[in-house]
Amino acid sequence: MGGMTSPTTRPTTDPAAAPAAAEPRRVLLAAPRGYCAGVDRAVVTVEKALELYGPPVYVRKQIVHNKHVVETLEKRGAVFVEDTGEVPEGALVVFSAHGVAPAVHAEARRRELKAIDATCPLVTKVHAEARRFAHQDYDILLIGHAGHEEVEGTSGEAPDNIHLVQGPDDVDDVVVRDPSRVVWLSQTTLSVDETAQTVERLRERLPLLQDPPSDDICYATQNRQVAVKAVAEQSDLVLVVGSRNSSNSVRLVEVALESGAGASHLVDNASEVDEAWLEGVRTVGVTSGASVPEVLVDEVLSWLAERGFGDVETVTSTEENMLFALPPDIRRGLRATSGEDQAGEARDAVR
């Protein structure tokens, strides 16, 4: 879920670290990886909206940060726009998994759009925390990346109370009104370790800093980072399947490098893997970001198999069974289609 570049190689200076020629080639496949419950819900929301109401279904911003997902939905009739101002009055618009500021909801109402909100419930939870602490007149230090849609949405809940802190280097510039009424919140897709460093630095300056009521970095982000660590420490190369504007995917590359991978690269699909990266490599770790369909991972595994890396071992660090209910408008529409007056009731459901 903001796009940013990151270093993709770590220098290996220890010649003893070079893999022995006789060592077999293998792939370590991280689990869990790929789709999280919030992404699955958002993608299914657009698919069901297309089925129930027919194209075009407008979607504000990329529904999830994955090129393949967006292109597939476009082919089925989804129209992606940057702003609700581009949606014709009265049309159907879906808000993406990353969430929107209250001003966007207000604009949609003003223009009489039929809005379906696919914001991930775990992002909605952070919005609620922001509103609650702002109501109590706290200064809120939001750790996150400037320009990311989720950060824009959360900041819009309490623009006068929220201060963005992008990382440990921002801490010295933080100014608050009352050091005894300060809380930190965060974007859901950050590096767990880097966020802990930022909080530690903040607490050195603000000893009364309060923690969020529960983790803001979501279960899926945390689980995928733990999983990539488990494979990175045994891998000469880690391939992370994900788009460059996917924050959680970019974080996986960083975590892989910090955890001992010889090199790590972010690729949208198999066509972006460079054969030169395999030189001297015996173990390739593979994982994918939370917005990545498994078919893209399968293609990377096939590409690797064709080059001698057909031995795939799955390294499971935890099991996931999270599932979120679809937005109420879609559930109502689906119930209506199972009744007699299917089309009419389904249309009414989002009015």
Residues interacting with ligand SF4, by CB under 6 A? 1, 36-39, 97, 120, 122-123, 188-189, 218, 220-221, 248, 290
Tell me whether residue 228 or residue 237 sits nearer to ligand SF4 (CB atom).
228
By beta-carbon distance, which residue lies closest to ligand SF4? 38
Peptide bond preceding 207 in cis form (omega within 30 of 0): no
Which positions are annotated as active-site residues?
150
- Specify whether the CB–CB gap between 37 and 323 falls below 8 A: yes
Minimum CB separation of residue 61 from ligand SF4 in Å reads: 13
- Specify whether the CB–CB gap between 290 and 35 falls below 8 A: yes
Strand stretches in the chain, DSSP E: 26-31, 57-60, 78-81, 92-95, 114-117, 139-143, 162-165, 182-186, 237-241, 263-267, 283-288, 312-316
Provide the H-helix boundaries in 160-287: 192-205, 219-232, 247-258
Minimum CB separation of residue 187 from ligand SF4 in Å reads: 9
Tell me whether residue 186 or residue 235 sits nearer to ligand SF4 (CB atom).
186
Tell me whether residue 268 or residue 345 sits nearer to ligand SF4 (CB atom).
268
Tell me whether residue 39 or residue 304 sits nearer to ligand SF4 (CB atom).
39
Q: Within 10 Å of residue 21's Cβ, how many Cβ atoms?
A: 7
- Specify whether the CB–CB gap between 272 and 244 falls below 8 A: no
Minimum CB separation of residue 64 from ligand SF4 in Å reads: 7
Minimum CB separation of residue 191 from ligand SF4 in Å reads: 13
- Specify whether the CB–CB gap between 116 and 93 falls below 8 A: yes
